[in-house]
Structures are given as structure tokens and as C-alpha cells.
Amino acid sequence: MTDTAANGTNDTGDQPRRASSGGNADGQPRRASSGGDAGGQAQRVSSGGGADGQPRRASVVDLMLAVLKREYLIFVRYPADAVGGVVVSLLFFALLFYGGRALAGRALTDSIEGIVVGYFLWTLSVGAYSSVANDIGSEVQWGTLERHFMTPFGFAPVAFAKGVAKVVRSFLLSSAVLAVMLVITGTSLRVPLLTVVAVAGLSILSVLGLGFAAGGLSVLYKRIGSWLGLLQFGFPVLVAAPAFDLGWTRFLPLAQGSSLLQRAMLDGTRLWQFPLAELVTLVVVAAAYVASGYAVFHYATRRARRLGVLGDY
């Protein structure tokens, strides 16, 4: 062995090797990682730094903004799908309106405002439910479901954030449908924005819970598309439930919200003018269905992981 090798120098000069300190190609010592293991590094986001220059942990706001941006990019890059959904909803309503007017005549004309409000809530609920359930089902088919479990937040919070983003998207598209429906029917409605957004949003939360439950079952049982479509046929009955004047129906999804939304858009009732008991019922029903759907979703995904079928299709 040569003296160079014994003294720890390289072949081209007398610079000592820094193998023991983890050096890089230029001989500078490699900086020790401050993130610990891979899991610790994954929880640090490069979207912003703290005062010490270290990446900060992602917050729920970061997650929500990222999901909303994703929905916006999907809409911009694939506008034909969103526009097609609006066109189909309008064609179905035109068939309902003109066909019903030809058959029922004056009876339909007298109740057209209520039909428009009910149809608006129906399109909003179907859009939110199908988007959440189909999105989770698509993740299962594409084989990309497992990557959500590797996020710092976990799968369930990410899925919930995506569901809220899809509700926002459905609300915007359904508002466009509502505007065109008013033009077609020649009617006018009162739209107190705060009241409509609050009541409709709380109403759709119960449907969001159903979407989470359906999505969890699709993770566990894979192909259940026929059952997912069957549930949508019950939404018109739920929207029309206040007309039956049955007290227990207010605890069903959409029923209490449909009643309050009708009064807000037909009579101009403001949010603070509703009886407190009715608002509490709306909030409790929304929270109960979201919590129940979330629990079913969490149980189904945990069981799928235990059975080893989470990534299978």
C-alpha cells in the first residue's frame, strides 16, 4: 500500500478524503438531515419556510387550497365534461317543464317556483353525492388510492377536503343551471345570498355523508355502481318530503334543508328569521349524517387494509 493511501489522500492531490463525515463530490462535508426518518420529512412542506429557514408543516388551510386548485385545474383542462353536465341537467328540466305544462297546464304553472327551487337542490345534491362517491371509486380503479394513506394528513381528511371542494364546484354549476331555469320559465325568485348558501350548504353536508359511506363501500367491495345509482333515485323524494307534512321526515337528508330553502327563495325569509329550533335541526341532521358517513368510510377503509384488498380491483 502506498503512502498516499495510508495517509487518507486521493489520487489527484493531497486533499484528505472525508468519507467518515459523509462528504460530497467536492470534498465538502454533507449536512446532516434534520428530518429524521422519511415519515418526518414527508410532514414538512416546501410551500413556505419558517423564521429559521426550515420548511413548515402543512396545515389544513394548505390542504384545502391545494384541493380547490386541483378542482379548478380539472375544470379548466376538461371543460367539456362540466359543461356537458350542465347541458344534460337543463335538457332534463326542459323536458320536465314543457312536458308537464302540456299535461298539467295551469297546475304546473302555479307551482313552478317551488319546482325550480326543488330542482336546484336536487342537481346540487346529485352533483355532490356522485362526485364524492365516483372520485373514490376512480381512485380504486386507477390504483392510486394507497398514496393518500402516505400523506401527513391521512386518507380520510384528504377525502373530506376533496368532498368539500366538489360541493363548492357543484354549487357553482347548479347556480348556472338555476339562472338558465329562471330564464326558461320566466319566473323570478328571491335569492338572499347568505341564507341560500348557508341553508343549501348544510343540506348538502348530509348528502356528503352519504357519499362518504358509498365511497367507503366501494373501497371495500369495489364494483357497486348499480347501488350507488339506485340511491340517487331517492333524492327527489327527500327534496319533496316537506310536502308530505310528516314530522319525522325532517330528520332525513335534504328534507329540512328543502323546507327552509323553499321559504327563503319563495318568501324571502332571512336566515335569522327562521325559528331557532328549525335551524338547530338543520345543523344537527347535517352533522349526524356527515359523522355517520365518515365513520362508515373510516371503518370500510380500515377493514380493506386488514383484508389486504385496499389496492386490489
Reading the chain (313 residues) residue by residue, the pLDDT tens digits are 444 444 444 444 444 444 344 444 444 444 443 333 333 333 444 444 555 556 677 777 888 888 888 888 888 888 888 788 888 888 888 887 777 776 765 656 667 788 888 888 888 888 888 877 777 777 777 777 777 777 777 777 787 788 888 888 888 888 888 888 888 888 878 778 888 889 988 988 888 888 888 888 887 887 777 777 777 778 888 888 877 777 788 888 888 898 899 888 888 888 888 999 999 999 999 999 999 988 888 888 888 888 777 666 5
Tell me, yes or no, whether 193 lies in a domain.
Answer: yes
Domain that holds residue 171: 61-224+232-303
Tell me, yes or no, whether 15 lies in a domain.
Answer: no
Tell me, yes or no, whether 251 lies in a domain.
Answer: yes
Burial class, 84, CB count within 10 angstroms (exposed 0-12 / middle 13-18 / buried 19+): exposed
Residue 261's nearest CA partner among 203, 209, 183 is 203
Tell me, yes or no, whether 249 lies in a domain.
Answer: yes
Cell of 16: 484528505
**Coil vs helix vs strand at 270:** coil
Distance CA 283, CA 297 (A): 21
Query: Which residues lie closer than 8 Å to 228 by C-beta, 6 or more apart?
Result: 130, 133, 134, 137, 214, 218
The distance of Cα 54 from the centroid of its chain, to the nearest Å, equals: 31
CB 113, CB 266: distance < 8 Å: yes
Tell me, yes or no, whether 51 lies in a domain.
Answer: no
Q: What is the pTM of this model?
A: 0.72
Q: What pLDDT score does 30 carry?
A: 44
Cell of 226: 348499480
Q: Distance of CA 267 to CAs 10, 259, 306, Å?
A: 87, 12, 53
Distance CA 129, CA 177 (A): 17
Domain count, the chain: 1
Q: What pLDDT score does 111 carry?
A: 73
Cell of 53: 429557514
Q: What pLDDT score does 282 carry?
A: 92
Q: What pLDDT score does 312 carry?
A: 64
Q: What pLDDT score does 287 carry?
A: 93
Q: What pLDDT score does 108 carry?
A: 62
Distance CA 61, CA 67 (A): 10
Cell of 62: 394548505
Distance CA 276, CA 199 (A): 13
Tell me, yes or no, whether 36 lies in a domain.
Answer: no
